[in-house]
């Protein structure tokens, strides 16, 4: 131990030891990048492989969904609709356009919608009447119970429309969220020299992981561009099926480019920037509306707990003094 202590207090030995440590640290610092390899490259490669897996999975989903774009009507539903001629007094052009915006295409969707517009009021009226007249009347008079049955009938009339509106809103929200990114991809494809049909097809394949509804619409537009006599009709159909103003702006720009030969890349760049700005404004609007929405939860849940935490020690001390 004495020899070890003498070595530790020896200046020459300590200088040599520190020089050896410094040399070893220098060698280790220079050798570590060569030993550990390209970590960032491996991570980027893993991310790329995972992205390709997701794209392949979504493409397979799109292939499976292509089969059911037009549903075949059920035999009994079709028989009821044709027997009572529901298309003459329940079917309207507005209902057909709403079905298309909700993603339901073909005669099967229309027959199903007409069938439920007939059945749901009758089912709600029978259920309400059976409950109020046979199960429990809640002390209501006959007139009030009949009024409740009429209310149930009205609710049954509105149920198919509410369901359709809910599906349409969800579908439009999915398209609206994916639309700015789709415009950027469409601009890149057009400026790369692709035709508009190839650009739509490519964007439809890439955007499937983000919005299946938008991928379906772009794929359907690509098919319409290939067989419709006028390309303008395909663009107008895309705007009608989505029912969104940003999509209508793009279709208008595409129609003008087809008619007057205007450069499409410039218009797409401007509209893509406007779409991104609109999305940012919507996010800022939601953020600005958050404080008023938090007022009631704070009053009901946060303030009572805060008062309990603040006042409880004082109350305990007062009770102890007494």
What per-residue string of b and e applies to 40-78 under the rule 16 or more CB within 10 Å gives b? eeeeeeeeeeeeeeeeeebbeebeeeeeeeeeebeeebb
Q: Is this structure's pTM higher than 0.95?
A: no
Q: What is the pLDDT of residues 235-276, one digit of tens each?
A: 898 998 888 888 888 888 888 888 887 788 888 888 888 888
What are the residues whose beta carbons fall under 8 Å from the beta carbon of 203, sequence distance 6 or more? 182, 185, 186, 189, 218
Q: What is the mean pLDDT of residues 113-129?
A: 87
What does 6-43 look like in DSSP terms, one character per residue? HHHT-HHHHHHHHHHHHHHHHHHHHHHHHHH--HHHHH
Instruction: For residue 166, name the pLDDT band (cuts at 50, 70, 90).
Output: very high
């Amino acid at each position: 131990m004495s020899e070890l202590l003498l070595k530790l207090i020896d200046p020459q030995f300590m200088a040599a030891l520190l020089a050896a440590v410094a040399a070893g640290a220098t060698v280790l610092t220079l050798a570590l990048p060569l030993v550990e390899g390209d970590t960032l490259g491996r991570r980027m490669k893993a991310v790329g492989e995972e992205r390709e897996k997701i794209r392949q999975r979504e493409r397979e989903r799109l292939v499976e969904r292509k089969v059911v774009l037009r549903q075949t009507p059920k035999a009994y539903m079709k028989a009821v609709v044709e027997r009572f001629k529901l298309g003459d007094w329940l079917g309207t052009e507005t209902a057909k356009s709403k079905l298309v915006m909700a993603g339901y295409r073909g005669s099967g969707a229309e027959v199903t919608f007409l069938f439920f517009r007939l059945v749901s009021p009758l089912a709600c009226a029978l259920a309400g009447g059976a409950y109020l007249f046979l199960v429990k009347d809640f002390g209501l008079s006959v007139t009030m119970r009949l009024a409740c049955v009429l209310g149930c009938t009205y609710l049954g009339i509105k149920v198919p429309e509410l369901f359709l509106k809910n599906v349409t809103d969800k579908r439009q929200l999915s398209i609206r969220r994916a639309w700015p990114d789709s415009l950027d991809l469409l601009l890149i494809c057009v400026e790369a020299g692709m035709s508009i049909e190839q650009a739509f097809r490519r964007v439809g394949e890439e955007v499937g992981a983000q919005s299946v509804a938008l991928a379906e619409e772009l794929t359907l537009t690509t098919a319409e561009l290939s067989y419709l006599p006028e390309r303008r009709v395909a663009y107008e159909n895309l705007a009608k099926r989505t029912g969104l103003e940003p999509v209508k702006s793009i279709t208008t720009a595409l129609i003008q480019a087809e008619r007057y030969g205007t450069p499409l890349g410039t218009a797409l760049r401007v509209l893509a920037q406007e779409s991104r700005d609109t999305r940012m404004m919507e996010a800022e609007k939601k953020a600005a509306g958050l404080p008023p929405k938090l007022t009631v939860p704070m009053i009901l849940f946060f303030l009572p707990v805060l008062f309990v935490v603040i006042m409880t020690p004082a109350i305990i001390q007062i009770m102890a003094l007494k």
